[in-house]
Amino acid sequence: MKLKTGFVCDESYFWHNTGNGALMMPIGGFIEADTHSESPETKRRVKNLLERCGMIRKLQSIHPRSATSDEIELNHTSKYVNRVKELSDTSGGDAGELAIVGKGSYEIAMLSAGGAITAVDAVMGGEVENAYALTRPPGHHAEKELGLGFCLFNNVAIAAKYAREKYGLKRIMIIDWDVHHGNGTESAFYSDPEVLFISLHQEFTFPAGRGALEDIGEGDGRGYNVNIPLPAGTGNAGYFNALDKIVVPIAEQFKPELILISAGQDPGKFDPLGRMLVSADGFGEMASVVKKIAERHCNGKLIAIHEGGYSAAYVPFCTLRIIESLSGVNSEVEDPFKTGVSEPPMYSNQKEAVEKVVKTHSQFWELAGSYHTYL
Ligand SMILES: [Zn+2]
């Protein structure tokens, strides 16, 4: 039987060494050494949970190949790529701001971007309908010539540019639900009407000064960059409202030929680097809405590429729910962190934040409809 969902992973993703830290701070002074936020543990536990519950056998295993230098340079300068390689070949260091390169990280980052590319080929070639790429290091903060926020090469941007070049796609939609703004991806397509970038993120967080709702794209790309900054404390209800009022109606008009998700599970309610309240079931529901968009417009062609998510305990359950939605397979694993406390409602400031985005983007899109109307 042909399995519907591909799963991209490789042991070496967990060998990218970010060293010690404490939250996002380097150790030193009064900061005692702890595990770095972007440690292998969170992602390794995702894979372990998939194995432990048997879900992995319901997924088509896809072995990633390394990206070539030319593919990385679809989105980065050769000067920057060489800098990452040089650090990786010697003693390691920082490829920008908070973008740790350990010994050998260059090859792993090439395989991480290559994982996103391999997923594109598997989905576009019809080997699977959709895919989850558990890639590491993550990518969405990486700018053309600067590593940022744990990101070295921008996996999702490279995947989109590769898909466009190889398959001649004219309309690719990227939905970034990582709690931080996907600045690198925004920069990559800011004046580009062929790649629609929608970021749902916590307002006023990392990176400073990025993700404002007024940043709507430039030139031909005006209207194709949609920032949805949400207030701290937004939970499932607030996120669904943003999908309902903005993401689904815009997708209905854009008619994507391929959808990529920058799947950062750091809006999760236990995340140390975010202040949002999305539950594991909430992530499953968001993935289910995006899957419906993909089924409606592009025969289900959808690839989720892992970004952030720093609660080693919770991220695996959030990611499992996403993979359940993509594959249509119920793992029957209960969310052990369900407390019995009801999910938070949508407060008025969250509703107003979405209304502001609707107002800003109504000059480009018809935004009177909603999820329930279209799907
Ligand atoms: Zn993040």
Tens of each residue's pLDDT in the chain, 375 residues: 688 999 999 999 999 999 887 777 777 888 888 888 999 999 999 999 999 999 999 999 999 999 999 999 999 999 999 999 999 999 899 999 999 999 999 999 999 999 999 999 999 999 999 999 999 999 999 999 999 999 999 999 999 999 999 999 999 999 999 999 999 999 999 999 999 999 999 999 999 999 999 999 999 999 999 999 999 999 999 999 999 999 999 999 999 999 999 999 999 999 999 999 999 999 999 999 999 999 999 999 999 999 999 999 999 999 999 999 999 999 999 999 997 788 899 999 999 999 999 999 999 999 987 777 776
Among residues 221, 318, 186, 341, which one has the least CA distance to residue 264?
318
C-alpha 344 to ligand 1 mean position (Å): 22
In 3-state terms, what secondary structure has residue 229?
Answer: strand
Categorise residue 130: left if φ over 0, alpha if ψ from -120 to 50, beta otherwise: beta
Q: Measured between alpha carbons, how far is 322 from 299 in angstroms, rounded to an integer?
A: 18
DSSP conformational letter for 127 = S
Helices then strands, each counted (H, E), the chain: 12, 14
What residue spans define the domains of the chain?
5-9+23-60+127-135+154-334+341-374
Pairing mode, strands 20-21 and 34-35: antiparallel
In one-letter notation, the amino acid at residue 366 is: E
Give the per-residue pLDDT at 180: 98
C-alpha 265 to ligand 1 mean position (Å): 8
C-alpha 281 to ligand 1 mean position (Å): 19
Q: Measured between alpha carbons, how far is 302 from 133 in angstroms, rounded to an integer?
A: 11
Q: In the Cβ-directed half-sphere of 157, how many Cα atoms lie within 13 Å?
A: 27
Which are the contacts of 372, defined by CB distance < 8 A and separation ≥ 6? 244
Give the per-residue pLDDT at 1: 67
Q: Measured between alpha carbons, how far is 365 from 344 in angstroms, rounded to an integer?
A: 30
Pairing mode, strands 93-94 and 100-101: antiparallel
Q: Bridge partners of 148?
A: 97, 151
Q: Bridge partners of 6?
A: 60, 131
Tokens 């440690």 locate to 39
Give the per-residue pLDDT at 341: 82
| Contact predicate 304/263, CB 8 Å | yes
C-alpha 373 to ligand 1 mean position (Å): 31
C-alpha 264 to ligand 1 mean position (Å): 6
- Take residue 79 and report the two structure tokens written for it: 């000067």
C-alpha 231 to ligand 1 mean position (Å): 15
Which are the contacts of 30, defined by CB distance < 8 A and separation ≥ 6? none
**Entry pTM:** 0.97
Class of domain 5-9+23-60+127-135+154-334+341-374: alpha beta
DSSP conformational letter for 14 = G
In 3-state terms, what secondary structure has residue 68?
Answer: coil
Tokens 């031909």 locate to 220
Annotated catalytic residue within 16, 140, 141, 201: 141
C-alpha 309 to ligand 1 mean position (Å): 6
- Take residue 324 and report the two structure tokens written for it: 């359940």
C-alpha 178 to ligand 1 mean position (Å): 5
| Contact predicate 267/286, CB 8 Å | no
In the residue annotation, 141 being an active-site residue is answered as yes
C-alpha 308 to ligand 1 mean position (Å): 4
Among residues 327, 239, 256, 328, which one has the least CA distance to residue 296?
256
